Amino acid sequence: MFHLECIGCHEKFGGEKVIYVCERCGDLLDVKYDYLELESKLRSKEWEKQPLSVWKYKDFLPILDLSKVVSLGEGGTRLYECSRLGRRLGVKKLYVKNEGDNPTGSFKDRGMTVGVTKALEYGRKAVLCASTGNTSASLAAYAAKAGLRCVVVVPSKKIARGKLVQAVAYGAQLIPVKGGFDDALKIVLKLSQARKDLYLLNSINPYRIEGQKTLAYEIADGLRGRPPDKVFIPVGNAGNISALWKGFKEYRRLNLIDSLPQTIGIQAVGAAPIAEAVKSGSETVKPKSHPETVATAIRIGSPVSWKKALQAIWESRGTAETVTDGEIMEAQRMLASQEGLFVEPASASTIAGLKKLVEEGVVGRDEEVVCIATGHGLKDPDTPLKFSEKAEEVEAEVEAVEKAIGVLR
Ligand code: F0G
């Protein structure tokens, strides 16, 4: 069994009715389980033999009716050992967990398979989100599979083309607003209170976080129960870092791992309210009114899950760091050209952050590190083209092409 619990006043709520925040104090909610019951369910060990996927962990998820599960085959993403890049950056072992492997090309699918299943359990006919792009792409796909209507509210500018086309193709109602993600989120939060026909699936919804926490379980299982020293993760609205830490803590509590990794949150310099709070040792986060970065996925100034993110960082004795747009684009090129992994700019920020923290001595050269690549590179085809040299056109003749190749070194 499970219930919802407020992270501020610890008030408990059953799962019968839809709530997104604490009805007493308005703080964020967490899903809590009866861990003794869970332990006894896990004793059979049958589940451990199943291949990695979100639903391998069905006993850890808050679903009442498994016949309602809406799945496109999410999770089970590959954990790549990146030895060439690891050597170059100066760490003993570098792994990249490639969340771009998910059905719509980002980690959001882990949350949406659970979240849209809850929408069906609650009998809702329509789902809603605000998004910098990936959430809307993912929600649109899962809503389509479930036969639900889907409304996505997105910034009218600076949303990556690949993400936009996904939402449209999956049949969502797209509402571009003249503003950024923070404006869009404020609107859907208000709307979801007023309109009981819409089920909100931004990461404030605690059930979505439950799906996303399977990322941590998969990392632990992929490394045979030995979590790395550090996990690097990009931070935008701060749901995923919260989910990751919850997953590791639950695995530890259930004795499925015997150590916890440090959680390192990476933000872009122009959109770094969490990293700024961590660096100044502040217990609260000061919102940033005009966030700006080439990594549009994390162009967020007022992260809704900031409290859970700070908790993840402090409890794990981790940290947060900022990286410039130039560093992000360089990291994207390095990962693609040295390891064959093409990830979107927000995802590459983790590699840029790792490079910086190795140089600063925060990451030791004998450490094992996992970087979370949250989304596929093709989501945003325009940005890398903008940052690279344009290839010169030549005549359609062998000689001209051979001349253009030149002498290979
Ligand atoms: N990486 C990618 C590729 C993302 O799309 C996002 C968030 C993040 C990292 C940050 O995750 O918000 O949980 O801290 N994208 C959201 C969206 C905001 O609307 O698609 P977070």
Distances (CA, A) of 207 to 32, 42, 235, 408: 11, 21, 19, 54
Mean predicted confidence (pLDDT) in 100-119: 98
Pocket test for ligand 1, best of 164, 298, 306, 342 (most atoms within 8 A of CB): 298
Contacts with 395 (C-beta within 8 Å, 6 or more apart), sequence order: none
350 lies in some domain: yes
- Number of domains making up the chain: 1
Mean predicted confidence (pLDDT) in 50-60: 97
Distance from C-alpha of 28 to C-alpha of 24, rounded to nearest angstrom: 11
Mean predicted confidence (pLDDT) in 164-191: 98
Q: Tell me the CA–centroid distance for residue 108 and ligand 1, in Å.
A: 8
Distance from C-alpha of 218 to C-alpha of 256, rounded to nearest angstrom: 12
Shortest-distance atom of ligand 1 to CA 132: 19
Shortest-distance atom of ligand 1 to CA 202: 19
Residue 182 CB-density burial (10 A; 0-12 exposed, 13-18 middle, 19+ buried): buried
pLDDT confidence of 45, banded at 50, 70, 90? confident
Question: Which amino acid, 285?
Answer: V
Mean predicted confidence (pLDDT) in 173-177: 98
112 lies in some domain: no
Residue 389 CB-density burial (10 A; 0-12 exposed, 13-18 middle, 19+ buried): exposed
Shortest-distance atom of ligand 1 to CA 134: 20
3-state secondary structure of 366: coil
Q: Tell me the CA–centroid distance for residue 24 and ligand 1, in Å.
A: 28
337 lies in some domain: yes
228 lies in some domain: yes
β-sheet bridge partners, residue 371: 96, 232
Quick one: CA dihedral 342, 105, 231, 228, positive or negative?
negative
Looking from the CA of 230 toward its CB, the CA atoms found within 13 Å total 28
Task: Give the DSSP per-residue string, 257-325.
Answer: -S--PEEEEEEEGGG-HHHHHHHHT-SS----SS---S-GGG--SS-TTHHHHHHHHHHTT-EEEEE-H
Residue spans of alpha helices (H) in 67-180: 83-89, 108-121, 134-146, 161-169
3-state secondary structure of 12: strand
161 lies in some domain: no
Distance from C-alpha of 66 to C-alpha of 31, rounded to nearest angstrom: 18
pLDDT at site 44: 85
Q: Tell me the CA–centroid distance for residue 229 and ligand 1, in Å.
A: 23
Q: Tell me the CA–centroid distance for residue 134 and ligand 1, in Å.
A: 7
CB 141 within 8 A of CB 166: yes
Which residue ranges have their beta carbon within 6 Å of ligand 1?
106, 131-135, 203, 234-241, 297-298, 344, 346-347, 374-375
99 lies in some domain: yes
CB 214 within 8 A of CB 75: yes
pLDDT confidence of 135, banded at 50, 70, 90? very high
3-state secondary structure of 111: helix
Residue nearest to atom 6 of ligand 1 (CA): 297
Residue found under tokens 């690097």:
232
In the chain, the percentage of residues whose pLDDT exceeds 70 is 100
Q: Tell me the CA–centroid distance for residue 89 and ligand 1, in Å.
A: 25
Q: Tell me the CA–centroid distance for residue 226 and ligand 1, in Å.
A: 27
Residue found under tokens 């690279």:
388
pLDDT at site 62: 98
Residue ranges making up the domain that contains 254: 79-105+208-386
CATH of the domain at 247: 3.40.50.1100
Pocket test for ligand 1, best of 97, 106, 181 (most atoms within 8 A of CB): 106
- Quick check: 80 pLDDT over 90? yes
Q: Tell me the CA–centroid distance for residue 211 and ligand 1, in Å.
A: 15
Structure tokens at 63: 């679903």
Shortest-distance atom of ligand 1 to CA 237: 12
Residue nearest to atom 19 of ligand 1 (CA): 131
pLDDT at site 409: 83
pTM (predicted TM-score): 0.98
Residue found under tokens 């989304």:
375
Shortest-distance atom of ligand 1 to CA 309: 14
Structure tokens at 203: 């990461």
- Quick check: 16 pLDDT over 90? yes
Quick one: CA dihedral 318, 38, 73, 68, positive or negative?
negative
pLDDT confidence of 342, banded at 50, 70, 90? very high
Q: What is the pLDDT of residues 372-403, one digit of tens each?
A: 999 999 999 999 999 998 899 999 999 999 99
Q: What is the pLDDT of residues 265-292, one digit of tens each?
A: 999 999 999 999 999 999 999 999 999 9
Q: Tell me the CA–centroid distance for residue 241 and ligand 1, in Å.
A: 10
- Quick check: 102 pLDDT over 90? yes
Structure tokens at 52: 């990695």
Q: Tell me the CA–centroid distance for residue 14 and ligand 1, in Å.
A: 28
Pocket test for ligand 1, best of 97, 112, 132 (most atoms within 8 A of CB): 132
- Quick check: 406 pLDDT over 90? yes
137 lies in some domain: no
Distance from C-alpha of 247 to C-alpha of 258, rounded to nearest angstrom: 13
Q: Tell me the CA–centroid distance for residue 338 and ligand 1, in Å.
A: 25
pLDDT at site 359: 98
Residue spans of alpha helices (H) in 107-260: 108-121, 134-146, 161-169, 181-194, 206-212, 214-222, 239-253
407 lies in some domain: no
Mean predicted confidence (pLDDT) in 28-38: 97
Q: Tell me the CA–centroid distance for residue 120 and ligand 1, in Å.
A: 24
Lowest-confidence region among 41-45, 257-261, 383-387: 41-45
Residue nearest to atom 4 of ligand 1 (CA): 297
Mean pLDDT across the chain: 97
pLDDT at site 163: 98
pLDDT at site 382: 95
CB 263 within 8 A of CB 229: no
3-state secondary structure of 160: coil
pLDDT at site 270: 98
CB 9 within 8 A of CB 3: no
> In residues, how long is the chain?
409
Pocket test for ligand 1, best of 102, 237, 299, 311 (most atoms within 8 A of CB): 237
- Quick check: 358 pLDDT over 90? yes
Question: Counting runs of H as helices and runs of E as strands, what totals does the chain give?
Answer: 15, 13
Pocket test for ligand 1, best of 98, 127, 134 (most atoms within 8 A of CB): 134
